[in-house]
């Protein structure tokens, strides 16, 4: 008895000592998990990972790929919240904008803090890269230049939406001084321009092909050109802002024609750089539609300055791009993005005329008129009776006589957006979001030059470069349709709407031009062409409005999120 | 910090020396009652007490306290206790459900009634934190869940409420502790006890939706309100009304189709207990079975399955006196739990049953295929019957070994105890599931022979089987303690010093959860009149950085037994009177966010692609900023209490408490600007005050052989947020700070917009309040413009109503016993509570939802004054459907929680059939409820509803 008790106690204590002892770190966290900034910037491999993380968080992406509200907008593309298009279903957030139910407490087009995540990453990189021992100094300077442009990209994304914002050019900690009021609009523009100038001085023109996609000198020039174009535009370059309060946050508070000239020069610099760096408009095929498709979709096309290829291959179901964007019933699409009648009317017919649509007509007329449209239209828009590809074939979608929709529908507008999607299939695809392509800078140049130097021959030349690549005849000042500054301005804007359709330009262009409030742009009725089945054989099309949109002047700039305003650091934009 | 590391190594070594020193020294010494660890061999056997006298506790009786037992008069803390027999009045698979209204200070709120997942939510003394408010549950001295124990193995459940009672739990004690003790053997003839209970459960309430015809009419009305063309033609409506074509014009009540009348529940338990001088035992074997409400399911559970929960419990608690100085206890408690569910179940299924209109589609089409539409794709009946089942299979065994030895030869009154507890849990899953094709039905072409057309939707897949089983955890606890007891004349002293460590390893996580403490309790009493107690814990948590891991948590308490004073001795009025008070500091180490909030995580994860071939480049990512000084919540607790027995009939316990929680970790995302570009860290800035009282009265008496008791209790707790790192608001009334945690906020409704508010063209008239949420129409809800800026917007949000949690809970308890018959009723009530109605059950037609009967009295031009629902609309309406006083309902309720009628056969008869005792009983749970909610249960709605039940039982003792 004695023995058993002794040993029992002994055993138990033994276990106790075993389990509790020799462990000074009983409550400690294993060290393997701990990585510090110093570790990351101790060698090239990890320091580069941090640069790639800066890319990932700074490169804009206009495709919706998940349930966030930062890429595109929530479950939709920005095009569906402008006069370019629409999503039929009401829950994607483009509908919030169209119905005017968005504001400081809810704007699912953007996530304010996400921009600053990219900016923070760039700042961390800039502050620490010097520590890395095994990267040569010249390469460090080049990497810093990349980070500066990435940061500038995010500032531009912020400025498009909010106007002036606080410039953060250091890594903030919660212990330091955090009161950073919004800089003025001018300071923000100057900051990005200076970053681009400094970066352009050290960035290379190209990278080895395995690093294609990094920031080149051309990208630095492109960002500067676009920022200056925005800065010269009526929304900011004006003595009479859209709303009177805080003019230094919404723009310059005055008008200077020289800003247009600066914008023109900056765009010209991009074109000049491209000419000597192997970047050119895609023009290799005889078929303009093929050229346009190549320019938009092809990996490594000669026209690309910068695109976001962050995800590599996208499956049909993951990320959710195809669900959100493919037309109903094609390759996983849930609802597709409709294209409005207004946008369709921006395109010309193949022979350069405007297409006229009666209120109603037979389906044969619908197809005839659609098929008469220019090549870029045929590529960009998928209308009832057109072919998606060989696998899907021709699709017809229409309304039954009782108002219900057939398979492959409903859709609002004249049809679905097809641009970007030519390479999709059941296996997914590689979809690169265009950040800068060369075509934009011809249009930027034409637009800015026509303001600084009305009807300048170079403005026509730039415009015609784009028209001709698109398969349209060139225009000139001798044509009475283009013989005033106003007419040329309209033509450039229209060309821009067509060439850069759905690339997240129009949504912001109509704001910077201050035409968003015009009927049929961001406000009022949006139209479509609906086909109706009257009987088994008889179909007609009808021109019909599908919704009425809401616009208020204050919407020219987004409100800062109420959550940020409430923290007491920032001033709200006018009207909100 | 150095100290903490050192004692980890030193304490066991010191203990080892002590033990060695005492080996071989044997003298007879009187066995002292162990104050800790050893459960203590029950002095008198746990005889079946009459319900009428259950709570009559004598002063000398031992009570369970933290890691030990004390006499009732020596207890200086606030503790409420319930015995297992009172818990047995609720037949439920989950023991927490037996505690409604039973323990003053313990808030219990119904959750889902789904078999196997019906745990209620529980709080001790209300809410003291906006972080993790869960409390520790200790079973026989070790952290463990008690929900799936059998009620027959429970000796008692105690709730520890104040600083004195909780002192030893240190950094984990601030939210209170529930102390569960299982039954043990005794010195006496073996008792064999058999109990069987069986019953039927039904939902307490199911929502009520309109039929097809009404839905059609009202949908058309809603469309007209929206300025849209009607959807249902007069002939459609006539078809709905006549019900001639149940396929094209169905009228389906999904609840009737999916649910059966009731769900069976039963349990059987067999226990053996007894023992002798040296060995005592308690052995249990139990079986519990509870099914769900789903109808027509496969009883063999091959094709599909009802919700189904089956559990086997077993326990063997053995106490052995190894020598005159050494006692040992070895406890095995185990269970096997098997749960089956329809593949689609729970919240999603119940939401669909509520959301799908009665005219959406027929359950099955004329050709036998499942009905459905693209808008309403998940046919609820097919979800239950056609999609297979999922199942989980849990195995748990908890093993506790304790040794206790008397070191009286070394130092008289000294005892050393040690214990190890190993708790193992494993879950395996087996699912047999499939997807289903369903067909949207449409009218055939006119003139065609086929009356119906079927449009295929969804995909029929065969059954696929998924199996996995690496869900497991293992918990190892080690405790060692020294107890000392000394009586010097009038002065009584006890002391206890204890070490505790706990390691929880969870599969899939290579960093086990750990905590560690050194605790102590020292008591002094003078003539059993004055008691003083110092309790403390020096306890550490892994969640904090080195140097900040350990904290010291002391508490001081005292009691005065007034009835032991000369002037009250022998009083026939005041039989017992005790006053007590306590103050102390406890901690709470649990809060949201990263487990290691003191450090910022950088991790290599993800990729960025570059190059024409999309070459993947690894990236580095990082999380929330760390706070290197992050620490636990501190709770400063004050309590005063009185306990009295008057006229030998009336027992009174009253406690008042005031808790000040501070140092609460707060996610500072609301404080720091978004432009810092990273989630800011947690900081210890939060403060919450919580105060309240508990009052418990019980009057016991008899009239001849008619014994009866009447009990009443009330429990009040109200908290107030002092600091929570709240975002700045433009209006002072918008602050959550200063209100209770969970205070409802919303808009103050002010009737409806009337047609007179609008111009002929539909525009609002000048001077009428504009809503920024939506373009309003007549019949929309009007709100009060709190800041007077002429428009209704986010800045007009104010505190409305109370919180979801009740501030005050009260109970009435009456029981009687007469000649073998016994009867007990327990009512409990919740008051000072508000419910904000929202979602599918109440917001008709929103998100294509159904229309419930609450919308019938909607606003129409003819029914403006008395309407209780805004105008119907098929569109999203941000103005009407948001939290407001319009949707606010009182959450007060009174329930007849338990009623039990029993009959024990007379002893003479019992002996004739060779049993000691035989009792049959019938009881009901949640039989009656009085409240202000019409449609759903006021305690829980959404998903599987709470249940009521009617049960029969028998217990036999041999």
**How are beta strands B452-457 and B438-443 bridged, if at all?**
antiparallel
Q: Does the structure show a pLDDT above 50 at B25?
A: no
Mean pLDDT value across residues A294-303: 93
Distances (CA, A) of B474 to B34, B418, B427, B506: 29, 20, 12, 7
For B358-380, what is the mean pLDDT? Answer: 92
pLDDT band at B455 (very low <50, low <70, confident <90, very high): confident
Do A408 and A469 share a domain, yes or no? no
State the average pLDDT over residues B414-425: 94
Choose the mutation target among A12, A306, A559 for the interface with B, i.e. most B CBs under 10 Å.
A12
**In chain A, positions 209-228, which contact chain B (CB-CB < 8 Å)?**
209-214
Q: Give the Cβ contact number of residue B396 at 10 Å.
A: 20
Q: What is the largest CA-CA distance in chain B?
A: 109
Structure confidence by residue, pLDDT tens digits, B904-948: 999 999 999 999 999 999 999 999 999 998 889 999 888 899 999
Classify residue B15 by its DSSP letter.
H
Residues of A numbered 300-339 whose beta carbons fall under 8 angstroms of chain B's beta carbons: which are they?
300, 309-313
Rounded Cα distance, A392 and A336, in Å? 15
Report whether the peptide linkage leading into residue B922 is cis, meaning its omega lies within 30 degrees of zero: no
- pLDDT value for A25: 65
Residue A472 domain flag: yes
Contacts of A310 by beta carbon, 8 Å cutoff, 6+ apart = A55, A56, A59, A61, B608, B609
Neighbours of B456 (CB within 10 A): 11
Tell me, yes or no, whether A420 lies in a domain. Answer: yes
* Of the partner residues B19, B670, B672, the one whose CB lies closest to the CB of residue A13: B19
A362 touches chain B (CB under 8 A): no
Identify the pLDDT of residue A35: 84
Residue with tokens 């169905």: B250
Which of B118, B146, B147, B149 shows the shortest CA–CA distance to B341? B118
Q: What is the largest CA-CA distance in chain A?
A: 119
Work out the angle at residue A228's Cα, subtended by the Cα atoms of residues A242 and A303, and round it to the nearest 5 degrees. 125
Residue ranges in B229-292 assigned as alpha helix (H): 234-242, 254-258
pLDDT top residue among A6 and B170: B170
Interface probe with A: pick from B601, B619, B762, most Cβ of A within 10 Å: B619
Same domain, A134 and A185: yes
Asked if B420 and A566 come within 8 Å (Cβ–Cβ), the reply is no
Domain range holding A190?
10-67+110-256
- Res B41: pLDDT: 39
Which of B328, B476, B772 has the CB atom closest to A8's CB atom? B328
Token code pair at residue A155: 């500032």
Provide, as residue numbers in chain A, all residues whose Cβ is less than 8 Å from the Cβ of B609.
Answer: 213, 309-312
Look at residue B866 in the predicted model and tell me its pLDDT: 93
Chain A: nearest CA to B282, how far in angstroms? 22
**pLDDT of res. A12:** 54
Q: Is residue A533 a part of any domain in this protein?
A: yes
Percent of chain B with pLDDT over 90: 75
CA distance A40 to chain B (A): 9
Same-domain pairing of A417 and A472: no
Within a 10 A sphere around the Cβ of A135, how many other Cβ atoms? 18
Q: In angstroms, what separates the C-alpha of A190 from chain B's closest C-alpha?
A: 19
DSSP assignment string, B124-139: ESS---SS----EEEE
Q: Quote the pLDDT of residue B37.
A: 39
Please name which of B361, B467, B390, B469 lies closest in space to residue B425, comparing C-alpha atoms.
Answer: B469
Instruction: Using a CB–CB cutoff of 8 Å, tell me whether A118 touches chain B.
Output: yes
Which chain A residue has the Cα nearest residue B847? A91
How many domains does chain A fold into? 3
Of B508, B503, B500, B502, the closest CA to residue B426 belongs to B508
- Structure confidence at residue B20 as a pLDDT band (50, 70, 90): very low
Confidence at residue A27, expressed as pLDDT on a 0 to 100 scale: 78
pLDDT digits (tens, 9 = 90+) for B116-169: 889 999 999 999 999 999 999 999 999 999 999 999 999 999 999 999 999 999
Query: pLDDT tier at A15 (50, 70, 90 boundaries)?
Result: low
Q: How large a percentage of chain A has pLDDT more than 70?
A: 95
Cβ distance of B478 and A46 shorter than 8 Å: no
Above 70 in pLDDT, residue B19?
no
Cβ contacts of B599 on chain A, cutoff 8 Å: 29, 34
Contact B945, B924 (CB under 8 A): no
- Nearest-CA distance A481 → chain B (Å): 41
Tell me the average pLDDT across B715-723: 97
B628 vs B598: CA distance, rounded Å: 4
Categorize the per-residue pLDDT at A32 as very low, low, confident or very high, splitting at 50, 70 and 90.
Answer: low
Full DSSP string of A401-418: TTS-B-TT---SSSEEE-
In angstroms, what separates the C-alpha of A507 from chain B's closest C-alpha?
24
Split at pLDDT 50, 70, 90, the class of B33 is very low
Determine which of A7, A36, A52, A401 to mutate to test the interface with B (most B C-beta atoms within 10 Å).
A52
Question: Is-cis flag, bond preceding A319, omega within 30?
Answer: yes
- Residue A492 CA to residue A322 CA, distance in Å, equals 32
The per-residue pLDDT for range B598-620, each reduced to its tens digit, is 888 888 888 999 998 888 999 99
Q: Which residue of chain B has the CA closest to A406?
A: B455
Mean pLDDT of all residues in chain B?
A: 89
Using an 8 Å CB-CB cutoff, list chain A residues near B729: 566
Q: Does residue A96 sit in the same domain as residue A126?
A: no
The CA distance from A389 to the nearest CA of chain B, in Å, is 24
pLDDT of residue B736: 95
- Examine the pLDDT at A283 and tell me if it is beyond 90: yes
Residue A575 lies in a domain: no
Nearest CA in chain B to A214: B610
Is the pLDDT at A6 greater than 60, yes or no?
Answer: no
Reduce the secondary structure of A47-61 to three states and give it as a string: HHHHHHHHHHHHCCC
- Predicted confidence at residue A175, as pLDDT, reads 82
On the question of pLDDT at B27 being above 90, the answer is no
* A194 and A94 assigned to the same domain: no
Res A547 pLDDT > 90: yes
- Assess contact for B32 and B415: CB atoms under 8 A: yes
- The neighbouring-strand residues paired with B902 are B822, B921
Contact (CB<8Å) B670/A105: no
| B188 φ/ψ sector (left φ>0, alpha ψ -120 to 50, else beta) | left
Is A136 near chain B, with CB under 8 Å?
A: no
* A178 in B contact zone (CB under 8 Å): yes
Q: Which of A23, A25, A174, A179 to mutate to test the interface with B (most CBs of B within 10 A)?
A: A174
Residue B561 to chain A, least CA–CA distance (Å): 40
In the prediction, which pLDDT does B935 show?
84
Reading the block at residue A513, the tokens are 């031009």
Q: Are residues A59 and A170 in the same domain?
A: yes
pLDDT over threshold 60, residue A113: yes
Q: Which of A3, A7, A13 to mutate to test the interface with B (most CBs of B within 10 A)?
A: A13
Our CA angle for A134, A139, A143, nearest 5°, is 110
Cα angle B765, B770, B776 (rounded to 5 degrees) comes to 85
Q: How far is A92 from A80, CA to CA, in rounded Å?
A: 10
The answer to whether residue B375 scores a pLDDT higher than 90 is no
- The pTM of the full predicted model, rounded to 2 decimals, is 0.83
Residue B53 has pLDDT above 70, yes or no: no
Nearest to A1 among B24, B323, B510 (CB): B323
- The gap from C-alpha B845 to its chain's centroid, in whole angstroms, comes to 33
Contacts with B, A 450-509, CB within 8 Å: none
Do residues A53 and B608 lie in contact, with contact meaning Cβ atoms separated by under 8 Å?
yes
Q: What is the pLDDT of residue B36?
A: 36
Is pLDDT of B29 > 60?
A: no
pLDDT mean over B220-224? 94
* Any domain includes A368: yes
> Is there a contact between B674 and A27 if contact means CB atoms under 8 Å apart?
no
CATH classification of the domain holding A252: 1.25.40.390
Contact state of A35 with B322 under an 8 Å Cβ cutoff: no
Confidence of residue A17 (pLDDT cuts 50, 70, 90): low
- Give ∠ CA A543-A547-A549 in degrees, rounded to 5: 130
Distance from CA of B63 to the nearest CA of A (A): 28
pLDDT at B5: 32
Same domain, A99 and A235: no
B778/B764 Cα distance (integer angstroms): 10
Do A162 and A215 sit in the same domain of this protein? yes
How far apart CA B597 and CA B543 sit, in angstroms, is 7
Q: Which residues of B795-814 are buried (b: 16+ CB within 10 A; e: fewer)?
A: bbbbbbbbbebbbbbbbbbb
The distance of B757 to chain A (nearest Cα, Å) reads 22
Q: Is the pLDDT of residue B293 over 80?
A: yes
Write down the pLDDT at residue B817: 95
Q: Say what the pLDDT of residue A300 is.
A: 87
Write out the H or E segment, with its range, that includes residue B352. helix B346-355
Best probe of the B interface among A10, A12, A27, A66, by most B CBs < 10 A, is A27
Could you read off the pLDDT of B57-88 as tens digits, one per residue? Answer: 455 688 999 999 998 889 999 999 999 999 99
Per residue in A308-345, pLDDT (tens digit) is: 987 777 888 888 999 999 999 899 899 999 999 999 99
The reply to whether A303 falls in a domain is: no
Asked if residue A542 is part of any domain, the answer here is yes
Distance from CA of B22 to the nearest CA of A (A): 10
The predicted structure's pLDDT at residue A3? 41
Of the candidates A479, A504, A529, which is a domain's last residue?
A: A504
Nearest by CB to A33, which of B16, B601, B728?
B601
Q: Which residue has the higher pLDDT, B880 or B49?
A: B880
| One-character DSSP codes across B564-612 | GSTTTTT-SSEEEEEEEEEEEEEEE---SS-TTTTS--EEEEEEEEETT
pLDDT over 70, % of chain B: 93
CATH number at residue A468: 1.25.40.900
- The label of the residue with tokens 């079946």 reads B48
pLDDT digits (tens, 9 = 90+) for B487-523: 999 999 999 999 999 999 998 777 888 899 999 999 9
**A124 and A29 belong to one structural domain:** yes
Number of A–B residue contacts, CB under 8 Å: 214
Dump pLDDT digits (tens) for A442-460: 999 999 999 999 999 999 9
Do A181 and A143 fall into the same domain?
Answer: yes
A568 is a domain residue: no
A97 with A144, same domain: the answer is no
The answer to whether the CB atoms of B617 and A56 lie below 8 A apart is no
Please answer whether residues B871 and B861 qualify as being in contact, where contact means their C-beta atoms are separated by less than 8 angstroms.
no
In chain A, which among 231-270 make CB contacts under 8 A with chain B?
none
Beta partners for residue B575, in sequence order = none
Q: Do A426 and A534 have their domain in common?
A: yes
From chain A, the residues in CB contact with B510 under 8 A are: 30
Q: Which residues of B touch A403 (CB under 8 A)?
A: 229
């Amino acid at each position: 008895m004695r023995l058993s008790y002794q040993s029992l106690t002994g055993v138990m204590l033994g276990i106790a000592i075993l389990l509790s002892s020799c462990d000074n770190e009983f409550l400690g966290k294993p060290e393997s998990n701990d990585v510090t900034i110093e570790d990351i910037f101790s060698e090239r491999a990890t320091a580069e990972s941090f640069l790639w993380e800066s890319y990932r968080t700074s490169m804009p992406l206009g495709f919706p790929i998940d349930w966030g509200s930062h890429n595109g907008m929530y479950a939709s593309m920005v095009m569906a919240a402008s006069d370019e298009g629409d999503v039929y279903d009401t829950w994607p957030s483009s509908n919030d904008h169209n119905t005017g139910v968005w504001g400081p407490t809810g704007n699912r087009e953007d996530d304010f803090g996400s921009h600053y995540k990219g900016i923070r990453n760039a700042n961390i990189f800039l502050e620490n890269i010097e520590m890395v021992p095994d990267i040569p100094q010249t390469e460090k300077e080049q990497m810093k230049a990349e980070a500066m442009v990435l940061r500038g990209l995010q500032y531009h994304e912020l400025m498009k939406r909010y106007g002036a914002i606080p410039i953060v050019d250091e890594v903030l900690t919660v212990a330091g001084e955090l009161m950073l009021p919004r800089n003025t609009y001018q300071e923000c523009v100057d900051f990005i321009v200076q970053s681009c100038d400094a970066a352009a001085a050290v960035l290379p023109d190209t990278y080895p092909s395995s690093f294609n996609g990094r920031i080149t000198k051309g990208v630095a020039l492109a960002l500067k050109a676009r920022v200056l174009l925005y800065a010269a535009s009526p929304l900011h370059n004006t003595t009479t802002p859209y709303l009177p309060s805080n003019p230094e946050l919404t723009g310059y508070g005055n008008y200077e024609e020289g800003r247009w000239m600066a914008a023109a020069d900056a765009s010209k610099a991009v074109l000049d750089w491209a000419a000597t760096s192997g970047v050119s408009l895609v023009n290799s095929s005889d078929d303009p539609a093929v050229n346009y498709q190549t320019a938009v979709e092809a990996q490594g096309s000669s026209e690309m300055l910068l695109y976001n290829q962050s995800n590599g291959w996208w499956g049909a179901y993951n990320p959710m791009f195809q669900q959100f964007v493919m037309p109903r019933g094609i390759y996983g699409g849930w609802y597709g993005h409709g294209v409005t009648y207004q946008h369709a009317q921006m395109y010309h017919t193949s022979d350069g005329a405007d297409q006229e649509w009666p209120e109603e007509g037979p389906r044969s007329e619908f197809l005839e008129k659609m098929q008469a449209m220019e090549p870029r239209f045929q590529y960009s828009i998928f209308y009832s009776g057109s072919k998606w590809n060989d696998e899907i074939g021709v699709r017809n979608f229409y309304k039954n006589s009782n108002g219900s929709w057939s398979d492959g529908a409903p859709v609002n507008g004249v049809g679905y957006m097809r641009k970007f999607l030519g390479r999709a299939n059941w296996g997914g695809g590689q979809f690169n979001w265009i950040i800068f392509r060369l075509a934009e800078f011809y249009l930027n140049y034409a637009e800015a030059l026509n303001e600084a130097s009305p009807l300048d021959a170079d403005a026509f030349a730039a415009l015609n470069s784009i028209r001709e690549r698109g398969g349209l005849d060139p225009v000139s000042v001798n044509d009475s349709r283009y013989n005033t500054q106003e007419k040329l301005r309209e033509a450039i804007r229209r060309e821009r709407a067509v060439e850069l359709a759905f690339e997240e330009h129009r949504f912001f262009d109509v704001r910077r031009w201050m035409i968003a409030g015009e009927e049929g742009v961001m406000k009022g009725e949006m139209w479509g062409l609906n086909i109706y089945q009257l009987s088994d054989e008889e179909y007609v099309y009808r021109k019909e409005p599908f919704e009425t949109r809401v616009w208020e002047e204050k919407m020219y700039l987004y409100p800062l999120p109420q959550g940020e305003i409430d923290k007491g650091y920032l001033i709200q934009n006018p009207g909100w | 910090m150095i100290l903490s590391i050192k004692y980890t190594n030193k304490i066991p070594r010191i203990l080892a020396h002590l033990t060695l020193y005492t080996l071989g020294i044997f003298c007879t010494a009187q066995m002292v009652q162990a104050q800790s660890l050893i459960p203590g061999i029950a002095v008198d056997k746990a005889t079946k007490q009459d319900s009428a006298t259950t709570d009559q506790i004598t002063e000398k009786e031992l009570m369970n306290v933290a890691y030990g037992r004390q006499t009732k008069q020596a207890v200086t803390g606030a503790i409420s206790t319930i015995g297992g027999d009172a818990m047995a009045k609720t037949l439920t698979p989950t023991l927490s459900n037996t505690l409604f209204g039973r323990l003053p200070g313990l808030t219990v709120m119904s959750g889902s009634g789904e078999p196997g997942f019906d745990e209620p939510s529980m709080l001790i003394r209300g809410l003291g934190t906006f972080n993790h408010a869960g409390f520790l549950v200790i079973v026989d001295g070790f952290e463990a869940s008690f929900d799936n124990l059998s009620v027959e193995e429970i000796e008692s459940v105690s709730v520890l409420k104040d600083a004195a009672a909780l002192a030893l739990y240190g950094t984990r004690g601030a939210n209170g502790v529930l102390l569960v003790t299982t039954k043990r053997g005794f010195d006496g003839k073996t008792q064999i006890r058999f109990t069987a209970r069986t019953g039927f459960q039904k939902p307490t309430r199911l929502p009520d939706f309109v039929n097809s015809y009404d839905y059609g009419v009202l949908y058309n009305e809603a469309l007209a309100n929206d300025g849209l063309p009607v959807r249902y033609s007069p002939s459609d409506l006539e078809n709905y009304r006549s019900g001639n074509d149940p396929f094209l014009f169905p009228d389906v009540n999904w609840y009737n189709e999916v649910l059966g009348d009731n769900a069976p529940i039963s349990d059987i338990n067999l226990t053996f207990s007894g023992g002798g001088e040296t060995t005592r035992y308690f052995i249990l074997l139990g079986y519990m079975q509870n099914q769900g409400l789903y109808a027509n399911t496969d009883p063999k559970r091959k094709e599909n399955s009802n919700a189904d929960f089956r559990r086997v419990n077993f326990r063997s608690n053995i106490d052995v006196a190894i020598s005159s100085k050494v006692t040992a206890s070895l406890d095995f408690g185990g269970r096997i739990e098997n749960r089956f569910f329809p593949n689609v179940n729970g919240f999603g299924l119940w939401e669909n049953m509520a959301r799908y209109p009665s005219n959406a589609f027929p359950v099955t089409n004329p050709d036998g295929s499942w009905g459905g539409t693209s808008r309403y794709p998940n046919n609820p009946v097919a979800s239950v019957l056609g999609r297979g089942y999922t199942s989980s299979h849990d195995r748990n065994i908890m093993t506790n070994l304790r040794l206790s030895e008397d070191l009286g030869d070394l130092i008289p009154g000294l005892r050393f105890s040690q214990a190890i507890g190993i708790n193992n849990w494993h879950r395996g899953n087996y699912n047999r599931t499939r997807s289903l094709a369903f067909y949207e039905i449409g009218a055939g072409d006119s003139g065609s022979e086929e009356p119906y057309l079927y449009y295929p939707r969804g995909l029929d897949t065969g059954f696929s089987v998924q199996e996995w089983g690496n869900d497991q955890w293992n918990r190892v606890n080690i405790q060692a303690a020294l107890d000392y007891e000394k009586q010097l004349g009038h002065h009584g002293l006890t002391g206890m010093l204890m070490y505790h460590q706990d390691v929880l390893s969870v599969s899939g996580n290579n960093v086990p959860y750990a905590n560690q403490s050194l605790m102590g309790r020292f008591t002094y009493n003078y003539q059993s009149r004055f008691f003083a107690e110092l309790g403390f814990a020096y306890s550490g948590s892994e969640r904090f950085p080195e140097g900040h891991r350990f904290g010291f948590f002391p508490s001081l308490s005292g009691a005065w037994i007034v009835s032991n004073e000369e002037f009250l001795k022998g009083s026939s009025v005041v039989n017992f009177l005790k006053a007590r008070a306590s103050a102390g500091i406890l901690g709470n180490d649990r809060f949201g966010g990263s487990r290691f909030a003191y450090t910022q995580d950088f991790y290599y994860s993800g990729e960025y692609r570059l190059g024409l071939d999309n070459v993947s480049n690894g990236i580095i990512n990082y999380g929330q900023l760390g706070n290197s000084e992050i620490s636990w919540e501190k709770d400063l607790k004050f309590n005063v209490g009185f306990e009295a027995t008057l006229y030998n009939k009336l027992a009174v316990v009253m406690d008042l408490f005031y808790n000040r929680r501070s140092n609460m970790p707060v996610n500072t995302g609301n404080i720091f600007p978004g432009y810092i570009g990273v989630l800011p860290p947690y900081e210890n800035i939060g403060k919450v005050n919580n105060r309240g009282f508990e009052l418990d009265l019980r009057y016991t008496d008899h009239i001849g052989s008619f014994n009866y008791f009447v009990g009443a209790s009330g429990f009040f707790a109200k908290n107030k947020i002092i600091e929570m790192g709240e975002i700045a608001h433009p209006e002072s009334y918008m602050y959550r700070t200063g209100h209770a945690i969970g205070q409802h906020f919303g808009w103050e409704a002010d009737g409806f917009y009337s047609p007179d508010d609008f111009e002929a063209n539909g525009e609002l008239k000048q001077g009428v309040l504009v809503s920024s949420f939506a373009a309003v129409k007549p019949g929309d809800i009007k709100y009060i413009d709190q800041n007077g800026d002429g428009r209704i917007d986010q800045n007009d949000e104010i505190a409305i109503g109370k919180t979801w949690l009740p501030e005050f809970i009260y109970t009435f308890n009456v029981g009687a016993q007469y000649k073998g018959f016994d009867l007990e009723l327990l009512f409990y009530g919740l008051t000072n509570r508000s419910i904000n109605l929202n979602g599918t059950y109440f917001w008709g037609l929103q998100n294509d939802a159904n229309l419930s009967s609450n919308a019938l009295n909607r606003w129409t031009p003819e029914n403006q004054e008395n309407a209780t629902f805004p105008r119907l609309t098929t569109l999203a309406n941000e103005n009407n459907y948001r939290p407001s006083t319009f949707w606010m309902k009182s959450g007060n309720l009174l329930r007849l929680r338990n009623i039990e009628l029993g009959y024990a056969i007379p002893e003479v008869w019992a002996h004739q059939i060779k049993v000691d005792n035989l009792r049959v009983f019938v009881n009901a749970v949640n039989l009656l409820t009085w409240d202000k909610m019409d449609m759903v249960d006021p305690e829980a709605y959404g998903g599987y509803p709470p249940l009521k039940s009617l049960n029969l039982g028998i217990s036999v003792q041999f």
